[in-house]
Amino acid sequence: MSLVDDISGKAKEVTGKVTGDQELEAKGKAQQIAGDLKDKADETKDKVGDAVNEGLDNVRDRLNGDDKDEPK
């Protein structure tokens, strides 16, 4: 989780609980969830980028006649 979102969200959540402010507590929880979503989106972006690069490398290899999967 984004460290800033985690700390800030947790602080809001705890402050909301202590003061009885349900809206602030909910905002804190939402901020923590948003941080989780940002992290998951970054992970997904990295995985997709890696897969695309691997695919491009395979296409380049085949176009250059360097197909390692093809029997000789």
Whether 71 is in a domain gets the answer no
What Cα–Cα distance (Å) separates residue 15 from each residue in 11, 35, 46, 52, 62?
Answer: 6, 19, 35, 44, 59
Q: Say what the pLDDT of residue 27 is.
A: 97
Whether 42 is in a domain gets the answer yes
* Structure token pair of residue 33: 């969830």
Domains in the chain: how many in total? 1
* Domain span at 39: 3-63
pLDDT along the chain (72 residues), means of 10: 88 97 97 94 96 95 78 54
Neighbours of 72 (CB within 10 A): 4
- At residue 24, what are phi and psi to the nearest 5 degrees? -65, -40
Whether 44 is in a domain gets the answer yes
Whether 27 is in a domain gets the answer yes
Q: Say what the pLDDT of residue 39 is.
A: 92
Amino acid identity at 54: E
Element (H, E) at 59: helix 22-63
Q: Say what the pLDDT of residue 1 is.
A: 58
